[in-house]
Structure 1
Amino acid sequence: MSSNDKQPSCDTCHQVFFTLGTLRRHIAVIHSTMERPRFPCSFPGCSKTYLYKRHILEHVKIDHAKNPVRFPCTLCGKEFKTRTELERHIPTHTTEKPYNCATCGRSYANRGNMISHQKTHLEKSTRPVSKCHVCPQTFLSSRGLQYHIRAVHESRRDHPCEFCDKRLSTPASLKRHVGVMHVMNKGLIRSCDKCEYKSYLIDNLARHRMRHNPARHECYFCRKKFFSFGELGKHFSVHTLES
C-alpha cells in the first residue's frame, strides 16, 4: 500500500483511490488470499452472497424491491439499476473518451476499462491475476473472471437484447450481437484485406484477422490450440464435464 500527497494507490494493481479507507477495503476484498465468510441473500430463489451486510441491503433494495428505482437513459430509453451504471452507459452515445492510458495514450470512455488496460503494460511476472477455480485460465480483473465463470462454467445468459429475444453471456457479446444483427447504418461495412470476410464491427474484423495467423492459445489438458481465449475457455468445459 502506497500513498502520495494526492491519492493513495494499490501496490498490487496500481489502482488509485480517494481515501486510505477505500484502498484498505479494496486490498481486503480483491487481493486477500484468506477465505472470508460471506452473507447470503435471504430472498427466495436468490443465490447471491456478499462479504458485507450493507451490500446485501443494497442488493435487496435494487433487485428485490416491489417498486425498484430505475435510472433511464434520455438518449435511448434503456433503464439502469443504479446512477453509476447510467453514468457508465452515457459515453456509449458519444465519441468522448476522457480516460487516457498514461503509458501508451490509448483513450477509453470508461475508467474501469482504462485501469484494466493499464495492467497489460506491467511485466507478466508482476501482473495481478484472478484465477479460475474450475480451469487454468487467468484474468487481469476480477470482473473478467466473473464473466468467464458465468458464461463458460455456468452457461448463464444475463444480458438480453432490447431488439429481439436473444440473451447473451457478457456485455461485450451483447454489443457485438447488436452491432451485427441490429445495425442502423448498414453502409458502415468493413472488409478483411486478406479474404472476402466483411463485418459491421471493428472487433469482429479483428477477431477474424487472427485466423489468418497460427492458433496460439493451447489447452492445458489436451494441447489443442485455439485462436482466442474465448474459444479456449469454451473448450475447457469438455474436460471439466469429463472429470
Structure 2
Amino acid sequence: MAFIKDESEDLKIDETFRVKHEDTEEQTDLMALKEESEVLNETEDKDHNFINGEISFSCSQTEKSSSRKRDQKTGRSYFTCQQCGKSFNRTESFKRHMRVHTGDKPYACQQCGKHFSQRICLKRHIRIHTGEKPYTCQQCGRSFTQLGNLGVHMSVHTGERPYTCQQCGKGFNWKGTLHCHMKIHTGERLFTCQQCGISFAQKGSLNRHKKIHTGEKPYTCQQCGISFIEKGTLKRHMRVHTAEKPYTCDQCGKSFNQDEKLKVHMRTHQGKPHTCPQCGKSFSQKRNFEDHVRIHSGEKPYTCPQCGKRFNYKRHFEDHIRIHTGEQPYTCSQCGKSFSQKRNFEDHVRIHSGEQPYTCPQCGKRFNYKRHFEDHIRTHTGEKPFTCQHCGKCFSRKGSLNRHMRVHTGEKPFTCGHCGKSFGYKAALKYHMSLHI
C-alpha cells in the first residue's frame, strides 16, 4: 500500500506538535534545537558527573547563581543550572538554556512579529513564510519543513508504531498523538468555546471550531475559488482537479483519493466478524457493532450538554451537536455547498455524479437517496410505520405524517407574498398563487 494514513504532508504532523506543545513553547524550542542540531552538526549538551570543587558563576539573565565545575581529566569547565540541574560545557549553551526558565524570546520574525527564545526556532519558523522544505523523503519524494516531521512521516513506509495505548492496545507513530488518544479514555476536554460552550480535547480542534462562528475560511482553491476552514480539506479537494489517488488497496490494487474511502473499501475484503448474539446481525466494524448492541440494551451514553437530549449512537450525537453550533464540515468540491451530516452530503454528491445505487427489487426503479428508496419500497409492502398520536391515522412516509399534523396544530407555514394569506400545505399555496396571475 502506497500510503496507509493521510499524512497531508506537514498538516497532521504539525497538528501533533501543536497539541503537545501549544502551551509550552519552551519545550517545543528544546525539541527543535535537538532535531536541528543533527543537521547543523552541533554538539549535544549532556549531563556529566563531577568530582571537583565548585566555583560561583552568575548569569545576568536570571540573576541566579549556577555552579561551575571542572573535570579533572579534561580540565574543561561545566555550568550547571540551579533550577533544573542540567549541565553545559559552553557559556552560550547555558545562556540559551536559561531562556527556558526566564521566558526571554529575543528573536523576532520580521514578517509576522512572532518571538522565539532560540535562533534555530526562528529559522524553522521562517520556512512557513518562504515555503522552504529542505527535508525530503527518499522513498516517496515528499518534503517537510522540519527534520522531526520527516522522521514521523517515515513510519508510514516502515509501519512502525512505537507508542501504544495501555488501555486498548492501539499503536501510534507519534507520542503526541498517543496523548491526544488517551483523552478518549479519560474524557478530558480542557478547551471550551466561549460562544457556545462546547468543549474539546485538543486546542487545535477548538481553534478550528471557532472559525465556524467567525465564518473564516482562509484556504482557497486557486483553480475554482472554493474556500475551506482547514488546510487539509483544501489538499483533499485539490485531488478533484489533479485526479490524484494516493491511497491504494494492497489486496486488489484499486486506488482512492481519500483515506476514508480506502478504509470503507477494505471492509469488502474483511467480511463481517462482529455478530450480535441477540439478533444475529453482523458488522464489519466493532464500533458499529457496539452501537447496535445499545438498541437492545436501551443504553444512551451520549448526552447533549446544551439541551440534554441523549443518543445511543455517537455519530447521531455529533450530528445533533451541529444543530447548536451551525457547523457544516462536509463541503461539496463541485459546487461548494456544505452539510452538517455526512449522509446528506453523500446524497448530494450523487446529484453531480448521477449515481443511483438504490434499486427496487420488485419494479427495478432506481434512486440516489436511500430514504426515497425506503419510501418507495412501502408502496409495494403497504407498510405504514408513521402513526398520528392524535387520531391514529397511519402513513407510509414521515413527511406525510408531518403535513397531516398541521390539521391538529393549525400551523400554516406557507404564506402568499401578494396578499399575506397562509396555508398548511405547499400545494394549496401554489394553487392560490395561480389566482394572482
TM-score normalized by structure 1?
0.54
Residue 164 of structure 2: aligned partner: 40
User: What letter is aligned with 2:172?
Assistant: Y
Q: 1:145 to 1:73 in 2, by over 3 A?
A: farther
User: What letter is aligned with 2:311?
Assistant: K
- Is the 2:180–2:202 Cα contact (8 Å) retained in structure 1? no
User: What letter is aligned with 1:97?
Assistant: K
- Is the 1:138–1:145 Cα contact (8 Å) retained in structure 2? yes
| Alpha-carbon separation, structure 2, partners of 1:14 and 1:178 | 41
Residue 96 of structure 2: aligned partner: none
CA shift for structure 1 position 71: 0.3
Q: Indicate whether 1:25 and 2:149 are aligned.
A: no
| Alpha-carbon separation, structure 2, partners of 1:147 and 1:160 | 25
User: What letter is aligned with 1:92?
Assistant: I
| Alpha-carbon separation, structure 1, partners of 2:241 and 2:315 | 25
| Alpha-carbon separation, structure 2, partners of 1:184 and 1:88 | 12
Q: 1:95 to 1:16 in 2, by over 3 A?
A: farther
User: What letter is aligned with 1:165?
Assistant: R
Q: Indicate whether 1:103 and 2:220 are aligned.
A: no
Q: Indicate whether 1:50 and 2:190 are aligned.
A: no
Please say which structure displays the higher CA radius of gyration: 2
| Alpha-carbon separation, structure 2, partners of 1:64 and 1:184 | 25
| Alpha-carbon separation, structure 1, partners of 2:237 and 2:140 | 11
User: What letter is aligned with 1:156?
Assistant: R
Residue 128 of structure 1: aligned partner: 246
Q: 1:144 to 1:99 in 2, by over 3 A?
A: farther
- Is the 2:221–2:227 Cα contact (8 Å) retained in structure 1? yes
- Is the 2:193–2:199 Cα contact (8 Å) retained in structure 1? yes
- Is the 2:162–2:171 Cα contact (8 Å) retained in structure 1? yes
Bigger mean CA offset, 75-84 vs 93-102? 93-102
User: What letter is aligned with 1:103?
Assistant: Q
Residue 232 of structure 1: aligned partner: none
| Alpha-carbon separation, structure 1, partners of 2:225 and 2:354 | 29
- Corresponding residue pairs, total: 192
Q: 1:24 to 1:201 in 2, by over 3 A?
A: closer
Of residues 272, 281, 285, the one that matches 1:154 is: 285
Aligned pairs for 1:81-92 (under 5 A) are 81-92=201-212
| Alpha-carbon separation, structure 2, partners of 1:121 and 1:19 | 28
| Alpha-carbon separation, structure 1, partners of 2:324 and 2:180 | 36
Residue 237 of structure 1: aligned partner: none
- Is the 1:8–1:23 Cα contact (8 Å) retained in structure 2? no
User: What letter is aligned with 2:152?
Assistant: R
| Alpha-carbon separation, structure 1, partners of 2:145 and 2:253 | 34
Q: 1:107 to 1:58 in 2, by over 3 A?
A: closer
CA deviations 1:199-241 (Å, max 9, x no partner) are: x9798388258369753679xxxxxx9849xxxxxxxxxxxxx
Q: 1:148 to 1:212 in 2, by over 3 A?
A: closer
SS of the residue corresponding to residue 115 of structure 1 reads helix
The RMSD of aligned alpha carbons is: 5.0
User: What letter is aligned with 1:128?
Assistant: P
Aligned pairs for 1:1-243 (under 5 A) are 6-8=131-133, 17-26=144-153, 28-30=154-156, 32=157, 34-36=158-160, 38-43=162-167, 46-53=168-175, 55-57=177-179, 59-60=181-182, 62-64=183-185, 68=188, 70-124=190-244, 127-129=245-247, 131=249, 139-142=256-259, 153-154=284-285, 156=287, 160=302, 162=304, 163=307, 164-166=309-311, 174-175=318-319, 182=323, 204=344, 207-208=347-348, 210=350, 214-215=354-355, 227=368
CA shift for structure 1 position 78: 0.5
CA shift for structure 1 position 109: 1.2
CA deviations 1:134-176 (Å, max 9, x no partner) are: x9875434466568889x83152699573532355659x944x
| Alpha-carbon separation, structure 2, partners of 1:201 and 1:68 | 25
SS of the residue corresponding to residue 156 of structure 1 reads helix
| Alpha-carbon separation, structure 2, partners of 1:153 and 1:68 | 29
- Is the 1:132–1:145 Cα contact (8 Å) retained in structure 2? no
CA shift for structure 1 position 128: 1.2
- Is the 2:161–2:171 Cα contact (8 Å) retained in structure 1? no
CA shift for structure 1 position 77: 0.4
| Alpha-carbon separation, structure 1, partners of 2:313 and 2:184 | 20
Segments of 5+ residues of structure 2 without an aligned counterpart are 1-8, 10-126, 268-282, 292-300, 327-338, 359-365, 370-437
| Alpha-carbon separation, structure 2, partners of 1:111 and 1:23 | 19
User: What letter is aligned with 1:100?
Assistant: T
Q: 1:47 to 1:63 in 2, by over 3 A?
A: same
SS of the residue corresponding to residue 222 of structure 2 reads coil
